[in-house]
Amino acid sequence: MNPLIRFMLIAGSLYLVWLFGYEQYLAIDGRLDAALTQNIATAGAAVLRLFGFEAAVSSDQANLILLSNTPAVKIGYYCDGLVLYALFAGFVLAFPGPIRHKIWFIPMGLILIYSINILRIAALCLNHLYWHQTVDFNHHYTFTFLVYGFIFLLWIWWATRLATKVPVNSTQHVPA
């Protein structure tokens, strides 16, 4: 089968699974996103405490990080990284490559994306503390560019180093 058609069929199938599995059930239920935003807030506050900041998660809102008892960043469902995890994993699953590499590369990539998202949240808290007038710009542009750029680099790593290589001048012999 043509590799492009194979990629499109697998990617389309994964999108439909996402559409019906997440958008029609999990997103409506809300528990997965709520748990993930709470986890990201807890981890972001822990990173800030590691660097000596007085950070905590609000007792009233489990997705709100406080710096010195002042609200800093509230993590919304679209900032929990879930869609990014699905996009990353879907691309790697749809792109040709040995399953033995996919088995370790997908979890490693998800952990790295999760980690960079936590660092992004911690940085936004510091941005709020020191340069609050730039938070909106940095949230929507700077950090979005950095996170998507990082995911793009992971995809490039997959496509150029780990995926199945098909020689450019290869000819497949089809029996008559």
Q: What are phi and psi of 74, to 5 degrees?
A: -110, 125
**pLDDT (tens digit per residue) in 8-41:** 999 899 989 988 888 888 888 889 999 999 999 9
The predicted-structure confidence for 55-112, as pLDDT tens digits, reads as follows 999 999 999 999 999 999 999 988 999 989 999 999 999 999 999 999 999 999 999 9
Report residue 176's pLDDT band, with 50, 70 and 90 as the boundaries. Answer: very low
CA–CA separation, 24 and 33 (whole Å)? 14
pLDDT tens figures, 33-59: 999 999 999 999 999 999 999 999 999
Strand partners, 67: 55, 70
Work out the number of other CB atoms within 10 angstroms of the CB of residue 113: 20
Rounded to whole angstroms, the Cα distance separating 135 from 29 reads: 30
Of how many residues is the chain composed?
176
Q: Is residue 86 within 8 Å of 18, Cβ to Cβ? A: yes
Task: Enter the pTM of the model.
Answer: 0.87
